[in-house]
Amino acid sequence: MPCSPVIELEQISKAFETTRALERVDLRVEPGQTTVLIGPSGCGKSTLLRVLVGLIEPDGGTATFEGSAITPRSVHALRRRMGYVIQEGGLFPHLTATENVVLMARELGWPEPKWRSRLGALAELTRLPTDALDRYPVELSGGQRQRVSLMRALMLDPDVLLMDEPLGALDSMIRFELQVELRAIFRRLGKTVLLVTHDLDEAGFFGDVIVLLRKGRIEQRGTLEELVHDPRNEFVRAFVNAQRSALAPLREKSR
């Protein structure tokens, strides 16, 4: 591929006390693509994301973001070019939706008209009702919270969205609705997205590329089709068979 990767991991390893969370992982994330990390719990998919945001320092290997190495020293500046969304949103409960979204922009000294117009555009993009903007997280529904969380992540117009099970805490109706909206937003913005999920359905729905991990190692990297039809080993086959919902083919067709 001619263009350089947005994120590149080389030989990243990380061990927690007794378990090895990541074992010499190599990964390239191409610009404009949605890459999904999937695998059983404890496979290291969230750890990988946390290494990128600098919440975890790897024991070995190098991680680069748009050509600069992610180190404890550099990560602070790099974070402003990444949007990080987690399950339940991680919204600050003492701030209203608006205050949550614009917190960082205001700290960076954006003038009010500028952040107000950005806020309005994001509310439109994520289809958050305007009256929800003045509410506190505790007063919002689960779906609204994730919309606010996405707005917060997008506020500074980052190059990459890092999403750790963003829909994991929602019930299935809202989850499906948000999946459709999220994918539309990703396509419209053309952002590079790295998304973690444990659900193969969701992985297939979002992912241009799916990366399947087990015990800190990448088992296979490819499209959903490749994983289903051309599993590289027994584990991939078993994971796919166990995970693939009976409804998925129907949904694929209905699109």
Partner 1 sequence: MNGITRHSLRALALVLFAQTALAQEPIVTVGSKKFTESVILGELLTQLAASTGAQVEHRSELGGTRILWSALKRGEIDAYPEYTGTISKEILTTGEAATIDEIRDALKARGMVVSEPLGFNNTYILGMKKDLADERGIRTISDLARHPDLRFGFSSEFMDREDGWPGLRRDYDLPQRDIRGMDHDLAYRGLAAGSIDVVDFYSTDAEIEYYGLRALEDDRAHFPRYDSVIVYRDDLEGRAPEVVAAFSALEHAITAADMTAMNAAAKIESVSEARIASEFLERHLGVQSNRRDVGAWERFWVNTAEHLFLVAVSLAGAILVSIPLGVIAARFSRVGQAILGTVGIIQTIPALALLVFMIPLLGIGAAPAIVALFLYSLLPIVRNTYAGLHDIPRPIVESAIALGLSPSRRLRLVELPLAARSILAGIKTSAVINVGTATLGALIGTGGYGQPILTGIRLDDLGLIMQGAVPAAGLALLCQAAFEIAERRFVSKGLRIKAS
Q: Can you give the binding site for partner 1, defined by CB under 8 A?
A: 50, 53-55, 76-77, 79-80, 82, 84, 86-96, 103-104, 107, 136-139, 152
CB of 83 to partner 1, least distance (A): 9
CB of 104 to partner 1, least distance (A): 5
Q: Would you say 156 or 228 has its CB closer to partner 1?
A: 156
Name the 3-class secondary structure at 172: helix
Torsion, CA 64, CA 69, CA 70, CA 76, rounded to 10: -120
Burial of 20 (0-12, 13-18, 19+ CB in 10 A): middle
Q: Would you say 174 or 248 has its CB closer to partner 1?
A: 174
Euclidean distance between CA atoms 44 and 123, whole angstroms: 33
CB of 94 to partner 1, least distance (A): 4
Euclidean distance between CA atoms 56 and 224, whole angstroms: 29
Torsion, CA 91, CA 96, CA 99, CA 103, rounded to 10: -20
Q: Would you say 105 or 218 has its CB closer to partner 1?
A: 105
Euclidean distance between CA atoms 231 and 7, whole angstroms: 25
Q: Would you say 41 or 254 has its CB closer to partner 1?
A: 41
CB of 147 to partner 1, least distance (A): 15
Q: Would you say 77 or 242 has its CB closer to partner 1?
A: 77
Strand blocks (E) in the chain: 7-16, 19-29, 34-38, 60-65, 68-69, 82-86, 160-164, 192-197, 209-214, 217-222
CB of 183 to partner 1, least distance (A): 23
CB of 143 to partner 1, least distance (A): 15
Q: Would you say 105 or 210 has its CB closer to partner 1?
A: 105
